[in-house]
Amino acid sequence: MKQTIPWLIAALAGGVVIAAFFIPAAQPWQDRAGQWFEVLAGFAFVLGGANLFVMNLRKIAAQGPGWGYAAVTLVSFVVTLGVGLWKVGVAPRDGRTAWQGGYLDEGSALWWLFEYAYNPLVATMFALLAFYVASAAFRAFRLKNTEASLLLATAFIVLLGRTYAGAALTSFVPPEYSALTIPGMTALIMKVVNTAGQRAIMIGIALGVAATSLKVLLGINRSYLGSGD
């Protein structure tokens, strides 16, 4: 019973959202379901933050493996939450008090954290990912079979077509045969072959989402409700 009622609520909300796409009269129901979702999402954020705080606090107290990272996470969480809730550094303007200002106003403490702490950390992480991508590409581009050979040749053409050397190597090709140049082949690969592959992947993802959604709405998949009866 404790799983049946939540499933019925989820199935009803999902059915209303789906019906609103086909029945204009059901559009207000979709708006009301969206409002309830925002309310529940607010509670979920609070529960998620509390769970983050408790789990990291337990790890610090037990001094288990990686407890130093948990301490950094906990301090960052508390500081960010505090400066955001209290709107530290928000300057009053247009006759408003600091509490009425936006918490991301330029010059506020939270804006400073995003601009000079969060964004540089994100940029650093993606910069480090370049080395992992290069390592994975080296392993994938080994000439083991026909597919790997095609992948290597395609990657070589695309990479070379993005440089000045690619245009220089095929500069002798007449303009009417520009499709045979390396930049022309690069454009063909990116606009035709790559687009076709992306569309096939997106169609597969859409079918997977539709199948998973039906399983959730019909109660076949109840993993989101947790384990137990």
Residue 189: the pLDDT is 94
Given pLDDT bands bounded at 50, 70 and 90, which one contains residue 229?
very low
Q: Check whether 51 has a pLDDT greater than 90.
A: yes
Going by pLDDT thresholds of 50, 70 and 90, the confidence category of residue 205 is: very high
Give residue for tokens 């592959």.
Answer: 197
**Bigger pLDDT: 106 or 227?**
106
78 alpha-carbon distance from chain centroid: 24
78 pLDDT more than 50? yes
Weakest mean pLDDT among 44-48, 89-93, 161-165, 191-195: 89-93
Torsion, Cα 163 169 175 176, to 10 degrees, reads -110
What is the distance between the terminal CA atoms of the chain, rounded to a whole angstrom?
A: 8
* Lowest-confidence pick of 29-33, 103-107, 150-154: 103-107
Instruction: Using DSSP, state whether 161 is helix, strand or coil.
Output: helix
| CA–centroid distance for 29 within its chain | 28
Name the band, by pLDDT with cuts 50, 70 and 90, for residue 86. Answer: confident
Question: Which tens digit of pLDDT belongs to each residue from 144-191?
Answer: 778 878 888 888 898 889 888 888 988 899 988 888 899 999 999 999
Contact 182, 161 (CB under 8 A): yes
Q: Check the CA dihedral 154-156-161-166 and report its sign.
A: negative
Cβ-based burial of 222 (10 A; exposed 0-12, middle 13-18, buried ≥19): middle
Cα–Cα distance between 137 and 206 in angstroms, integer?
27
